[in-house]
Structure 1
Amino acid sequence: MKPKYKYSLLLMLVCSMLLVKAQEPTKNLEFFLNRAKISSPVLKDLENQRKSAGIDSLIVRASAKPQVTGSSSGLYAPIIHGYGYDEVITNGQSLDALLNVNYDLLNKKRINNQLQGVKLQNDSIRYASQVSTFDLNRSIADQYILAFASQYQVDFNSEVVALLKKEEALLKTLTRSNIYKQSEYLTFLVTLQQQELSLQQAALQYKNDLANLNYLSGITDTTSVLLEEPKLKSDKLFFETSFFKRKFELDSLKNENQRSSIILNYQPKLGVYANGGYNSSLVLQPYTNFGASVGFTFSVPIYDGHQKKMQFNKLNLASETISNYRAFFVRQQSQQLNLISQQISQTDALFGKINEQIRFSKGLIEVDSKLMHTGDLRVADFVIAVNNYMSAQNLLRQTTINRLKLINQYNYWNR
């Protein structure tokens, strides 16, 4: 096949690849984050727990109202040949059907305490839901970065293969003209085949990384897509208003709520009740035994073996534990954020040198390509120039991906 036909075939192949790639749908990180939130069973579970806590609040409010119950009981105790229960106790038989109303007069503080407990439970569920969202966002972003890196590698390998194929066609012609040795052509051909294998491996890795991204996001579609470059920026530090500190605040508030509940349990309780209906021994004029009654109940704790003090001691220990965890977390968060911030700064400092190396490597390839066209360059020198360019590009890719991962970690902890 003549060189000009090979060039035409190569041009057609490149154009067809670009056309197929242009037709692929483009998706960004936000798309996968939204799909993951919609598909997450954990977030759905927490949302149902939050709704359940709302129902608990309604139940507590309902318990503060007068409680009305209906009750009925019947008794028959026969005496046979003088044997049986004492009629003075049993009356022989009895029947009652009553409507009872009970109301606790001193329940306002207890109800408020229970409502506060339900609110804290709801706040804890909201916190857990937000933390789960942060965790989900971090895992999706990490996998998206990996998939984007694989896509970047495929694009770069395609560029290198196209470059080498172009030079291979010319080198083959020059070899036939005895300008280059057959061994030099074969050396170049081996390099081309290696890069073609690398391209296939990169394509398989991208397919696998994209499949994992879809899996984490709850997407069953296996269609190939183009991923946009993730635009992640590190946020400003907010140590004083850290979101993760909210957990320790909620734990402290729960501790105080339990303390108030213990105090309320040792306060006097006063309730009133009323009932009405039918209550009869069925002995004398049972048709007249319809009536009603009212009464009250009162109780006050006097001694229980110092259980109140013991419960307070447990809460004091729990409070100390919360303070220790909070102090440890604040130190760890500060150290981690400072470390990641330093790593980001050090990574940013590399880009200037890497880009300069890429510019020189690419310029050397252009010069070597011209020299090779005239037979004034060894093929091995051109292969070395290509390898240097590839190493610089891979270093740029790895550095870019590492920076994105660091920013993702930084933004997760800097809440």
Structure 2
Amino acid sequence: MIYKPLLTTLLIISGIMARAQAPVKNLDYYLGQAKSSSPVLKDFENQRRTAGIDSLIVRATAKPQVTGSGTGLYAPVIRGYGYDEVLTNGQALEAMLNVNYDLLNKKRINNQLEGIKIQSDSVKYASQLSLFDLNRSVIDQYITAFASQQQVDFNREVVSLLDREEKLLKTLTRSNIYKQSEYLTFLVTLQQQQLSLKQAELQFKNDYATLNYLAGVADTAQAKLAEPELQNAVFTGEKSFFTRRFELDSLKNTNLKNAIDLNYKPKLGVYANGGYNSSLVLQPYKNFGASVGFTFSVPIYDGHQRKMQYDKLALSSNTVAGYRDFFTRQQSQQINLIRQQIKQTDALFGKINEQIRFSKGLIDVDSKLLHTGDLRVSDFIIAINNYLSAQNLLRQTNINRLKLINQFNYWNR
């Protein structure tokens, strides 16, 4: 029992030294790790590159298309049985080189390219939104882990304080200045704080492991977390990032409408071919040749399908407008609510700091009285508990403020 306070002090000192030697990692480190290791962001990047390849494919279709083809036929007639030679010629051989070119495809190609650009912009938006969501989750967990780290540091400070007072109280108890029961009461308080320290260390390990998991960090070595530095919650009043998706939906509908219109435009194409085409019956060595031609088509009547497709796009546009208006109202309410919560939280710091100052001053006074035996141990314990409550309230209020700023910065884009 005599060596227990000494052992506790050594453990506290060793823990402090271990944390002092631990590497320091800040919020930017975890945000960078999360971004580089996210398979979702890599997937979006590959989708954007795919859209770039699609645009090249569309441009290639605008050029003349050259194909080669060949067919062969042999239809024997045995003892009068077989295909009609008037239809089959008995045998045929064809080898052709064909060139086709659509003369009126420029607007269609441009509309397809515009559709691919809208698709690429949509992927870019989804990628940025995914990054914002990832950052919000990592920042929120970083704040939680940092709060757990602060709790561990504060509990160590309290245990160190109580350990020093326990040594003095033991001496005073042996001198009959304090009763044995009062010493045991204080000792129970010390043991409770030691247990709270162990629980805080376990909680920090769990929160720290969760942070590494979210950020994709495989390193299991525990590091010291730097205080998170977040931008102050300032309302920009600029155009919201989140409404960009509704603009993209509107652009998609416009692109689809243009595609519908282009389907009802005349189509004109030219073609040319050359090669060998023979029935192998009469002078087959002379059956080399070439031909040119054109194709033209114009839609006349299809049962008013064009109007029906317009009606579908109109319904889609109404849906987009409804979602946009609803989201705009919700976002404005969300931002105003968070701003109000931040303002109310900031108003608490003055009162909490004042309470901490009084509680700390009371502990200092009570500690002096405890040294002279002019204070009941229970009063000293009450003072310590008040100090603990005030410090915990300050940390929790600060953590809540950081999380509110994180939420505000997410929606204020």
Instruction: Give TM-score, length-normalised by structure 2.
Output: 0.97
What secondary structure is seen at the aligned counterpart in 1 of 2:350?
helix
Residue 182 of structure 1: aligned partner: 180
Range with greater deviation from structure 2 (71-80 or 27-36): 71-80
Q: Cα deviation per residue 1:336-395 (whole Å; 9 max; x = unaligned)?
A: 000000000000000000000000000000000000000000000000000000000000
State the distance in 2 between where 1:305 and 1:330 align: 40
CA distance in 1 between partners of 2:98 and 2:232 (Å): 65
- 2:271 corresponding residue in structure 1: 273
Residue pairs, 1:222-241, within 5 angstroms? 222-241=220-239
C-alpha contact 1:33 1:137 (8 A) present in aligned 2: yes
CA shift digits 1:265-290 (9 cap, x unpaired): 11000000001110001110001101
The offset of 1:242, in angstroms, is 0.5
What is the letter of the counterpart of residue 409 of structure 2?
A: N
User: Structure 1 residue 72 and structure 2 residue 73: aligned?
Assistant: no
- 8 Å contact from structure 1 (residues 6, 169) kept in 2: no
Query: Which letter maps to 1:264?
Result: L
Judge conservation of contact 1:28–1:228 (CA < 8 Å) in 2. yes
Question: Counterparts of 1:389-400 in structure 2 under 5 Å?
Answer: 389-400=387-398
Counterpart AA for 1:145 = I
Q: Distance in 1 between matches of 2:82 and 2:5?
A: 117
Partner of 1:145: 143
What CA distance in whole angstroms lies between the structure 1 residues aligned with 2:158 and 2:49? 56
What is the rounded CA distance, in whole Å, between the counterparts of 2:85 and 2:297 in structure 1? 33
**Counterpart pick for 1:194 among 192, 195, 199:** 192
Find the counterpart in structure 2 of residue 169 from structure 1: 167
The offset of 1:80, in angstroms, is 2.3
Kindly state the Cα deviation for residue 14 of structure 1 after the two structures are TM-superposed.
5.0
The answer as to whether partners of 1:145 and 1:230 remain within 8 angstroms in 2 is yes
Distance (Å, rounded) in 1 between the aligned partners of 2:162 and 2:9: 14
Residue number in structure 1 paired with 2:253: 255
The count of aligned residue pairs is 413
Decide which of 80, 83, 91 is 1:93's aligned counterpart: 91
Specify the alignment match of 1:56 in structure 2: 54
Report if the CA contact (8 A) 2:9-2:160 is conserved: no
List per-residue Cα deviations over 1:150-180 (Å, max 9, x = no partner): 0000001001000000000000000000000
Q: CA RMSD in A?
A: 1.5
Asked if the contact 2:173–2:179 (Cα under 8 Å) also holds between the matched residues in 1, the reply is: yes
| Correspondence for 1:106 | 104
1:239 Cα shift? Answer: 4.3
Residue 363 of structure 2 corresponds to which residue in structure 1? 365
User: Shift in Å at residue 16 of structure 1?
Assistant: 3.5
Aligned AA (2:125): Y
Q: Map 1:109-148 to 2 at 5 A.
A: 109-148=107-146
CA contact 2:233–2:339 (8 Å) conserved in 1: no
1:236 positional shift: 3.1
Gaps of 5+ in 2: none
**Is 1:329 aligned to residue 327 of structure 2?**
yes
Q: How many Å separate the matches in 2 of 1:14 and 1:76?
A: 97
Mapped partners of 1:239, 1:306: distance in 2:
46
Amino acid at match of 2:154: F
- 2:31 is paired with a residue of what secondary structure? helix
Query: Which residue number corresponds to residue 312 of structure 2?
Result: 314
SS of the equivalent of 2:93 reads strand
Matched residue of 1:241: which SS? coil
**Runs of 5+ consecutive residues of structure 1 not aligned to the other structure:** none
